[in-house]
Structure 1
Amino acid sequence: MTITRRRLLAAGATAGLGLIAGCSDIARESLAASPATVSPAALEETGYGEHTVDELRIERTVGRFGFDRTIAVRNWNAEYDRALALEALGLGRVQTAVVSVLSTPQIAVLGRTLNPVGEYSTDELVALIQDRYDELEDVQYVDGELVSMLGSETTFARYRGRARLVPAETTIDVTIQVSEAVEHGDDFVVGVAVYPWTGNVGSESAAVRTLLEALEHE
């Protein structure tokens, strides 16, 4: 894994984007989520800053009754980061603590949910992250807790793994925290955090929890 600003978290935020394979029953040709973002007050409290709020658009061609059509799904990824001290690697402070929030439309037809993100466990989400970026290695479950996101309690699991840090040409231990999806409005929302596994794991985890508990979503 290349930890150069947000690549590590981009993996988590886009992990579930194989959203509409086989969704030939969708009546609309465009489905859109609303961005889920962290409140300014929570950013100020934790020292994180907004890096980007990007639309992630995916198009798939599906077939039905011998006809093909293209369906577009618009997801949103909000990314936040802050610098952590990595003096042990001779790097000083590096922007390596990153939090991403993915919002993706639920995509339901006749009461059946076609977007698999809503059913993924945290283990499945982490497996998708590893499939997307195979430089992330030796990922092991550590523990989990409940976190309140957008008025709903959801599982927030912590993992430990190894990732490549490009400036130092070395690998470091990292913490990966992943929430199960919560339903809010017409969307699913998932939170992912990645940061170096250091003596500050507890305080960084608390900061991440503060961010997720301060999410805003239309």
Structure 2
Amino acid sequence: MMTTFRRTVLATGATGALALAAGCLDFALGNGPLEVTAERAAPTDSALETAGYEERATEQRSIEERVDVGVERDVEATVWLSTYTKEIEFRGTAGEGCAFAAISIPDVSVAGRSFNPIGELSNEELLSEYGGELERGGASIENLTHRESFGLEILGDGRSVDVFEGTTTFEGERIDVDIVVTSFAHEGDRLVLVGSYPAALAAESATAEELMESVEHPV
């Protein structure tokens, strides 16, 4: 499924610099958008199997940005979203209680400036932007509060991971959940990795971390 979002951003610089940076004559002349596509990021199959997660959806979405460099030009970025869920039994009820999402967005640079739409967002803002990918059965995650931060080795480097507390509905019952999120640049893309699980299931914290550590990019 392909979904399109449109944003408008401003830049400074001359059309000549734009053409050099983009390397695209049609784009520089306004005859077409600059089209860029992210490489997919995802946990390894072995990590997913060990953790008990199954793929829920893998899809591409399109983000359109209009940049102003003295003249307006369009940038169309294709992003990847891969989501996974895990069936658990919690308080005597079975259902999809854990979720994980890997999102990659191309880090577009025009006239020396990045136009990645999430490049300057904090992890809390990223949860507001992409938290819907963790929803199960239409239940949103609410009342987010930052609890702590820690480091993980992901894709060959140390990454900062934030932990948030929130609430959601699991099979009709209100429960507390923990959400872990990290975002960083890698190989020309911006990656966002997010996991959620019932706060009472402490072992799922380590599982979410193992999924993050196993992520490959590009897949």
State TM-score, norm by structure 1. Answer: 0.75
Q: Which runs of 5+ in 2 are unaligned?
A: 12-17, 28-32
Equivalent in the alignment of 1:209: 209
Bigger RCO (CA 8 Å, 6+ sep): 1
SS in 1 for 2:8: coil
Q: Which amino acid aligns with 2:215?
A: L
Question: Aligned residue for 2:106?
Answer: 105
Q: State the SS of the aligned residue for 1:118.
A: coil
- Residues 146-196 of structure 1: per-residue CA shift (max 9 Å, x gap): 11221122111111111234x41x4221111111x2221110111011122
**CA contact under 8 A between 2:6 and 2:65: conserved in structure 1?**
no
Q: Equivalences for 1:118-137 in 2 at 5 Å?
A: 118-128=119-129, 135-137=140-142
Contact 2:102 2:191 in 1 (8 A): yes
Structure 1 residues 153 and 119, CA gap change in structure 2 (3 angstroms): farther
Instruction: Give the aligned CA root-mean-square deviation in angstroms.
Output: 3.0
Answer yes or no: is the 8 Å Cα contact 1:159–1:177 preserved in 2: yes
**Cross-structure match for 1:8:** none
| Distance (whole Å) between structure 1 residues aligned to residue 38 and residue 84 of structure 2 | 19
Distance in 2, matches of 1:19 and 1:117, equals: 13
The one of 153, 159, 166 equivalent to 1:148 is 153
Q: In the aligned structure 1, how far is the partner of 2:186 from the partner of 2:214?
A: 14
Matched, 1:184 2:186: yes
Relative to 1, partners in 2 of residues 1:62 and 1:111: Cα closer, same or farther, differing over 3 Å?
closer
Kindly provide the amino acid, as one letter, of the partner of residue 105 in structure 1. Answer: P
In the alignment, the residues of structure 2 paired with residue 57 and residue 205 of structure 1 have an alpha-carbon distance, to the nearest angstrom, of 32
2:55 aligned residue: 50
- The separation in 2 between residues aligned to 1:119 and 1:78, in whole angstroms, is 22
**Taking every aligned residue pair, what percent have the same amino acid on both sides?**
26
Is the radius of gyration larger for structure 1 or structure 2? 2
Deviation at 1:216, TM superposition (A): 1.2
Contact 1:19 1:115 in 2 (8 A): no
Supply the distance in 1 between the matched residues of 2:55 and 2:95 (Cα, whole angstroms): 16
Q: Which of these residues, 3, 8, 17, is aligned with residue 21 of structure 1?
A: 8
The Cα of 1:208 is off from its aligned counterpart by 0.9
TM-score after normalising by structure 2 = 0.75
Partner Cα distance (2:104, 2:132) in 1:
20
| Cα distance in 1 between the residues matched to 2:6 and 2:115 | 8
Which residue identity is paired with 2:192? V
Shift of 1:29: 2.2
In structure 2, what is the Cα distance between the partners aligned to 1:178 and 1:85? 24
